[in-house]
Each structure stands twice: as structure tokens, then as C-alpha cells.
Structure 1
Amino acid sequence: MASKRICLWLVFMIITYSVGQDMRSVRMSSMREWKFHCANTTCLPFLNLITSTIMKCQMACLAQIYCRAASFHQSTSNCELFTDMSNEIAHMQADTDITTMIVIAGTRSPPEPTTTTSTTTSTTTSTTTSTTTSTTTSTTTSTTASTTTSTTTSTTTSTTTSTTTLTTTSTTTSTTTMQGWTITGNMNVARMSHTASILANGKVLLAGSYIGGVSCSNSAELYDSSTGTWTFTGSFSVARGMHAASVLTNGNVLITGGTITSGTATTNSVEVYNPSTGTWSSTGNMNDARLSHTASILTNGNVLVAGGHSGSSYLTSAELYNPSTSTWTYTGNMNTARLSHTASVLASGKVLVAGGNNGLCFSTIELYDPSTGAWTIIANMNVARSSHTASVLANGKVLVTGGTNCSSYLTSAELYNPSTGTWTYTGNMNVAREIHTASVLANGTVLVTGGYNGSSYLNSAELYNPSTGTWSYTGNMNVARGGHTASVLANGKVLVNGGYNGNGVLNSTELY
């Protein structure tokens, strides 16, 4: 086997690309009719894509910061991307259907943290000189026949010089950590139009998936941030995507409605996940089947479900779930039927529903009062939008970003002030996007990630500063995606997972 590997390295073809500002020059070896083969899980790809050619598979690897190797399956056009190059090279197997490519030179990794060391030296010199002089004179006179006089003078001089040098060195080290994204463990199932819920124990529960008119999933899995791993948990009874999930006050998770097959077949079924047992149980059905609706936890613990699509028509209906009785009751209808809207619970306990579409996009806003069960039309947004995001800021205002107006994709953002009931423009995003995510970070800024701009799926991310009303770029995600989820973890990091990138549904996840 060792000789075969040597031959591989002798016959490989070296291809050089210069891709992007941060990729520099990267060389990849190309080994035809060989694939990675090993028993342990580190040989699993971190991303699977469908690409039409080997060249596009190579480019897909070069576009991912952490990609170190790729395998292209000619019969299926499947492109597998890997991170652990050294491990994969050690396990190769002949396969006439596969071409394997390995990064052998160049770097596209994010810059390492920058460390600056400043050294200050202080030297103090002290010199002490001590001189002692002693003189003794002795005179002796003796008188005889002759006179002799003897004089003796003795002088002793002692000089002591002491020099002390004290050197003090002070070193200050400043480390700057670059903001950015890191790949974490892959999900067990590729997902889009799924839900992500943060549990009381800090784990993240993912449920369901809608795979573009093909199928839905009834699987669920848990992310453990302490290990960066995903594990399956209990499956629910009805496979679904485009549903909603709500964490109840007792810590259980309620999933409602969704599509069950083709995007037009909807369900009114509702199930509850118990984190203590890892199991799902059916609870009372909604009165209306619906998908692409909203679900909001009210201050009294009830769940308000509003709008969506029944599979045959857009909905104005809204209903309330009582966790104590596991029952649903109609509440007042909205004034406008809508899906792909947003719903935000304000500090007052009222619920702000914004935008959406019912064949046409619109800017209309309604406010739900739980004390009366009624909806009130209030001031419109400045821009009609659907598939946007809405975030409640620390100051109580609601930030709405991006989306589509049904003819173009939006960079605009605006703020709702509950005190005045008015909307005002704030700074535009740098990139137009819909089906993106928006997360309020611990410092009050808002992180927007990914989405779709009408021509491509995005890996860009940007931050909104509420103090200045401005947006700034932050590090790009490793994988472009839209229709994904984002969850702010207890440690302040943001977990992004799944979605769609134009080539297929993703199982990759990353941390900001």
C-alpha cells in the first residue's frame, strides 16, 4: 500500500488557483480513481455539494476556508469537502468513479490572533567613592658628637568606588482575537426550513426539515456546545418543515403545523418535546392547518399562532394554545391575511406583526392585545417587505431588516418605536438579503447572517450598532446559506446550522 501512495504522489497533477483576497495562491493535487477510506468518523466530509464538474468541486473547496481536500463522484456529481487532510491521506482506496483533490500548498486560513509585545527597560546607576588619607610624621633628634635628624612621613590613601546598576524590564502583551467563524460538528441530517430551540440546559434542539418539495423529516437532534457534537433525540410523529417551535415556560418545546410533503399539504398537528425524557407526545391540534406562520410566547405563558397558509389560502386566523389544558381556542382574526411575516413580543406584552405577503408584499402592521384578544392596525412600515427579520432591541425598539418587496431584494432597515407607534429608517445593510437570520448579541448589537439576494446565496455577515444606527461587515461564514437558523448560546457565541446554498440542503454548522 505504501508503494501505491508513493506512486500517487509521483503522478498527481498540480493545479494552481488564485482565489479571492484571503485565499492567496493555493495548489491542489488531483488523484484520479482514488478515494478516502477509513473507519473512524474523522474521514467524514464536513460538507456535501452537487457540482457539475471536477473543476467546480475544486473551486468549492477553495471557497471554504477550512477545506483541505475534496472528492468528486463522477456518476452522481457529488462533491465531498474535508478538513483533516493528514488523516484522509493515510487511508486511500481505489475507486474508478472518484477523483480526489488535496490542498498541498498555500493558505486560506484566517489570520492568527495578533500579539504585540512592548518592553520597557529602566536602568539606575549609583556610584559611591570613599577616600581615606592618613599621614604620620615622626621626627627623632639625637645629639652626640654629631647631630642627626631623621624625619619619616607615612601617607596611606584608600579609595573605594562602588557602582550599582539596577535594570527593570516590564513586558506588556496585547492579544487581538479576530472575529470570525469556526466549523463545528455536522448535523446528522441535512436541514432547511427547520426550527432551532435553546433548552434550559443550554443544548439546542433542531426539529424537522423541508427538502424542497421532495420530503420532510420527523427527526430531531441536540447540539451540545461543551463538546461541539450532535446526537439524535426522539423523533416526532408527523414529519414536517416550515413549522414553528416555541419553548414553553415549563421548558418543554411545542412544534406547530407545517408542510408534510410537497409544500401544499399542511398539517394542524401539534407535538410537545420533553427534554427530561427526550421524547415527543401529541397534544391538542390547532383549529387550522398552517405553514409559514408565527408562534409567540405571551407573558401569561400561552402561545399565540398567527397567519400562514393553509395549503389552499392565506390565513387571517389566529389562535391561542393553553399549556395547562393542552387546548387551542380562536382569538381575534388579523385584518390582513399573511405569511412570511414576523411577530415580536413587546415590553408591554402586546405582539407586533409586520409585513409578509399574500401574493403581494405589503408594509401593513398590526398589534395584538392579549387582554382584549383584538388586533389593531397601526402605522405602516416605510417599505413593503416579506421574508425579513425582526429583532427586539435592549431599548425596546424593534429592528426590521431586509427581505423582499416581491420585485427586488432589500438592504433597508427600519425601527419601530413602541412609545410613539412610529417607524423610522435606520442605516442600510451593506448587502441586500432575504431568508436570512438576525440575532441580538450580549453587547446589544445585532448579527445578520447569510440569506439570498436574488442571484446567489450569501456567506456574508454584518453587525448593526443601535447606538450609531450603522452596519459594519464582520467575518464571512465558511458556507453560503439561506433558510438556516441561528441561536445565541449561553457562552455568547452564535450557532448557525443547515439551510440551502443553491446546490443542496446543508448539514454543516458553524459558530460565530
Structure 2
Amino acid sequence: MFPKDELRMPNLLVISGNYSCSSVCQNGGECTGPTTCTCATGWSGDTCTLAICTNGCQNNSTCTAPDNCTCATGWTNSTCETGNENLKFNLTFHNESYLNHENKEQFIEEWTTTGRIDLARCGHTASLLADGLALVAGGVYGGNTNCYELYNSSTGTWTALAGMHDPRWYHTASTLANGSVLIAGGYDDNGYPTSTELYNPSNGTWTATGSMNVSRYYHTASTLANGSILVTGGYNRVDSYLDSAELYNPSTGNWTTAGSMNVSRYYHTASTLANGSILVAGGQANDTSYHNSAELYDPSTGTWATTGSMNVARSQHTATTLANGTILFAGGQANDTSYLNSAELYDPSTGTWTITRSMNVARYMHTATTLANGAVLVTGGYNRVDGYLDSAELY
């Protein structure tokens, strides 16, 4: 029934020549020693079932045959490194959430409504807590609010509470190493508070902490490697547009000055680089002056230094750190009437900028979120032609 030198048995024992393998060697592999398969080119593993892709498969893609990657949704080319920028879908704002399905097709295409927040608001912050709840704090709706709400993703429900010391909007929220959330700056009916406060998730209480040296809103807040919080730029009516920066020390609750940026900025972005430096880019110096400049804060020396300038001035854009360490800057406003669909990449190793593919729709005041597969999801925003946007796209 079989050639003399090969006997196939029901338990998958293969005897070939003088050797036996406990399992069948697959994909052209040959049994060459006790329990040993010598695999054909492009295959590996005990029974030669693992395909080898010489250049790897990127972005959660799978090597399914020698040098053949099966790409995850939204990615193309031989190693799945190119994002499908034409993959678009609509999303609905106003109390709707995007489900993280195990099925990636659903993850890209399906939206579902969840519980409505108790108080409609804008200019608020949202922070993910260690217990999985989401903290939404402050904001404005016909007046500033000191109300906050907690979202439970397992039940899809919100719990509305009061207790913030100061109502505020366009503030910042930073999660500290101990799990507390630091709320800083912003605007209220009485002006621009220097006050800051801490939310303790373990007991649901708010505690006042040290005040900033300068009041500000439309500023940025970045977490440094040592746990300190760096706040940069912004605006207040007394000092106008700010170039100042300061540091919050969680262990003492105090703020100290952190030098001055080379130019005043608000509506800018701040990104943490792999070496711990903070890249601050773009924004505005006043109502009509838009920046293409960028600068770096070095936490080890407490100093600021300029770096390469963007190809385009932009304000109220997004900045997203990619898996390879480059920073993707997308959209924004270039002047009073120009809304951008352009995008560019900052390379921290060279301090240079490179133009990349443009978005399908010009937008500013949008959001950008990194997905599990490395793609960047851009949502919403505004431009003068289309008005308020419900579109979204992937980079």
C-alpha cells in the first residue's frame, strides 16, 4: 500500500528510513532524525507548520505562507506597513461610543449608542481611571460646571456627582503615578483660575493642591518620566498669550517655574518623546499669528531649545506618536480662513519634518486616537466648507 521505507500509522507516527517522527512533517518537510523534521525553505517549527516572512508582518498582521502576510483591516503591501487612507466611515457624536470588538471588521465599522451623560457639556476633560471607570470633569453648558461624572463601561451607565472645588472649562487633566487625577487651569465665570485640584478615585473625593504661578487656559500638560507634570503656554486676560512653563511636583503639591518657551503659544500640542523630552509645536502667538515653529524641553537640564520647523503653520491640530517613534501632525488651522487636510511627520532622531499623505477632509479641533493595530483614528472637527464634521478616517 505504501513504499517499503514509509509506514503511515493511525497515531500519525511516521517511520522513514531509520528514523521516526512523532508527528507528520508538514509543507514538504522531511523526517531526518528522531522527533526531528527538516523543513522546506520558508517553513519552521517542530512539524514545519510555521511560515517565515523574511521582512516580518507589521500592524497585527499574520504570516500565513512564506513571505506572504495576511494584513489586518486597513493595512496593505507585502509587509502590511501601508495604511489604507481611503477607508472611511461615519461616526455619530453626542453620547455615542465605539465598541472594541475582537472582530476587527466590526471594530472598524460598527458603532453603538451607550448611556447618555447626565449633563451636556463641552470644554471638559476625560480620564481613564485604574479601576476602568472614565472620569469626565468640568466643562460648560450655559455656564461653567463643577459637576463630574463617572462612566462604567461594563454597564454603559453614568453617575453624576458634584464636588470639584472650582467650576472650569478648557482645563487639563493629568493622571498621576498614584492614580489620582490633577485638574489644572481653565476658565470660569470669574476669569482664569490658578487653582488646581486632585481627584482621588479610591474614595471619590476632591482636594485642593498648590496653585500655579500663572493662570492659563488652552495650555498643555505633559507627564515627565519622574512623574512631574509640565504645563506650557496658554492664555489669560492679564498676561495675554503665554510663553511660560511650570512643573507640578506630586510629592510636594507645589508648582515651580520651568523656564520660558522661545515664543508664546496657545492651541499648540505637546508630545513626549522616547528620550523623555517634550516636543511643543505649532499654535498661535495671538489671534492672527500662527506658528510653524517647534521646540524641545529637556527635563534633565530644564532648558528649551528650538528644533526643525513644520512645513506648514498649524493651530488646533493633533499630534500622535506612532509605533516607530515619529510624531504624526494632522490638520489644524493655518490662518483665519484656511483649514488644513495636510499631515506631516516629525523624526526625533534628526529633528526634521516630512510631508505625508493628506487627510481626505480638512479639519481642525478634531481628535486623533491610536488603535491597537497601530492605525490612527481621526474624528470630527470643523472646516468652513463642510461645517461641523461627523466623518472619520484612518492613517
TM interval, short-chain normalised = 0.7 to 0.9
Q: Take 1:321 and 1:224, find their aligned partners in 2: how far apart are those partners?
A: 27
Q: Which amino acid aligns with 1:361?
A: Y
Deviation at 1:236, TM superposition (A): 0.8
C-alpha offsets along residues 59-112 of structure 1, whole Å, 9 cap, x if unaligned?
Answer: xxxxxxxxxxxxxxxxxxxxxxxxxxxxxxxxxxxxxxxxxxxxxxxxxxxxxx
Q: Which amino acid aligns with 1:309?
A: Y
The residue aligned with 2:48 is none
The residue aligned with 2:36 is none
Q: Take 1:223 and 1:461, find their aligned partners in 2: how far apart are those partners?
A: 27
Go from structure 1 to structure 2 and tell me whether the alpha carbon gap of 1:243 and 1:339 turns closer, same or farther (over 3 Å shift).
same
2:129 maps to 1:248: yes
How many residues align structurally? 311
Q: 1:288 aligns with which of 166, 182, 190?
A: 166
C-alpha offsets along residues 185-231 of structure 1, whole Å, 9 cap, x if unaligned?
Answer: 21123xxxxxxxxxxxxxxxxxxxxxxxxxxx5x2322447222221
2:252 maps to 1:372: yes
SS in structure 1 of the partner of residue 151 of structure 2: strand
Whether the aligned pair in 2 keeps the contact of 1:284 and 1:328 (CA below 8 Å) is no
Q: Which amino acid aligns with 2:267?
A: S
Whether the aligned pair in 2 keeps the contact of 1:180 and 1:475 (CA below 8 Å) is no
Q: 1:231 aligns with which of 112, 115, 128?
A: 112
Q: RMSD of aligned C-alpha atoms? A: 1.9
The residue aligned with 2:219 is 341
C-alpha offsets along residues 22-50 of structure 1, whole Å, 9 cap, x if unaligned?
Answer: xxxxxxxxxxxxxxxxxxxxxxxxxxxxx
The residue aligned with 2:263 is 383
The residue aligned with 1:408 is 289
SS in structure 2 of the partner of residue 181 of structure 1: coil
Normalization by structure 1: what TM-score? Answer: 0.59
The residue aligned with 2:49 is none
SS in structure 2 of the partner of residue 290 of structure 1: coil
Q: Take 1:491 and 1:178, find their aligned partners in 2: how far apart are those partners?
A: 12
2:391 maps to 1:508: yes
2:325 maps to 1:449: no
Q: Take 1:383 and 1:391, find their aligned partners in 2: how far apart are those partners?
A: 17
Whether the aligned pair in 2 keeps the contact of 1:180 and 1:474 (CA below 8 Å) is no
Q: Take 1:335 and 1:309, find their aligned partners in 2: how far apart are those partners?
A: 15
Larger RCO: Structure 1 or Structure 2 (Cα < 8 Å, ≥ 6 residues apart)?
A: 1
Q: Take 1:301 and 1:487, find their aligned partners in 2: how far apart are those partners?
A: 22
The residue aligned with 2:32 is none
Q: Take 1:451 and 1:401, find their aligned partners in 2: how far apart are those partners?
A: 12
SS in structure 1 of the partner of residue 260 of structure 2: coil
Deviation at 1:284, TM superposition (A): 4.2
Whether the aligned pair in 2 keeps the contact of 1:185 and 1:230 (CA below 8 Å) is no
Deviation at 1:311, TM superposition (A): 2.9
SS in structure 2 of the partner of residue 379 of structure 1: strand
Q: 1:309 aligns with which of 183, 187, 190?
A: 187
Q: Which amino acid aligns with 1:505?
A: Y
Q: 2:340 aligns with which of 452, 458, 467?
A: 458
Normalization by structure 2: what TM-score? Answer: 0.76
SS in structure 2 of the partner of residue 185 of structure 1: strand
Deviation at 1:279, TM superposition (A): 1.0
The residue aligned with 1:279 is 157
SS in structure 1 of the partner of residue 349 of structure 2: coil
C-alpha offsets along residues 391-443 of structure 1, whole Å, 9 cap, x if unaligned?
Answer: 11111110111000014000001111100101111110011011111011111
The residue aligned with 1:111 is none
2:322 maps to 1:424: no
Q: Which amino acid aligns with 1:507?
A: D
SS in structure 1 of the partner of residue 236 of structure 2: coil
Find the structure with the greater CA-based Rg: 1
Whether the aligned pair in 2 keeps the contact of 1:333 and 1:375 (CA below 8 Å) is yes
Runs of at least 5 residues in structure 2 that lack an aligned partner in the other structure: 1-66, 70-76
Q: 2:86 aligns with which of 153, 158, 182?
A: 182
Whether the aligned pair in 2 keeps the contact of 1:290 and 1:310 (CA below 8 Å) is yes
Q: 2:361 aligns with which of 465, 479, 487?
A: 479
Q: Which amino acid aligns with 2:120?
A: A
The residue aligned with 2:206 is 328
Q: Take 1:258 and 1:377, find their aligned partners in 2: how far apart are those partners?
A: 27
Whether the aligned pair in 1 keeps the contact of 2:294 and 2:306 (CA below 8 Å) is yes
Deviation at 1:233, TM superposition (A): 0.9
Q: Which amino acid aligns with 1:274?
A: N
SS in structure 2 of the partner of residue 182 of structure 1: coil
Go from structure 1 to structure 2 and tell me whether the alpha carbon gap of 1:258 and 1:398 turns closer, same or farther (over 3 Å shift).
same
Go from structure 1 to structure 2 and tell me whether the alpha carbon gap of 1:223 and 1:502 turns closer, same or farther (over 3 Å shift).
farther
C-alpha offsets along residues 97-144 of structure 1, whole Å, 9 cap, x if unaligned?
Answer: xxxxxxxxxxxxxxxxxxxxxxxxxxxxxxxxxxxxxxxxxxxxxxxx
Q: Take 1:183 and 1:266, find their aligned partners in 2: how far apart are those partners?
A: 38
Q: Take 1:453 and 1:428, find their aligned partners in 2: how far apart are those partners?
A: 14
Whether the aligned pair in 2 keeps the contact of 1:297 and 1:304 (CA below 8 Å) is yes
Go from structure 1 to structure 2 and tell me whether the alpha carbon gap of 1:223 and 1:388 turns closer, same or farther (over 3 Å shift).
farther
The residue aligned with 1:260 is 141
Deviation at 1:175, TM superposition (A): 4.4
Identity percentage of aligned residues: 54
Deviation at 1:331, TM superposition (A): 0.4
C-alpha offsets along residues 319-370 of structure 1, whole Å, 9 cap, x if unaligned?
Answer: 0000011111110110111000000010100000000011311110110001
Runs of at least 5 residues in structure 1 that lack an aligned partner in the other structure: 1-170, 190-216
Q: Which amino acid aligns with 1:222?
A: Y
Deviation at 1:179, TM superposition (A): 5.1
The residue aligned with 2:74 is none
Q: Take 2:330 and 2:384, find their aligned partners in 1: how far apart are those partners?
A: 16
Identify which range, 355-364 or 342-351, moves more after superposition.
Answer: 355-364
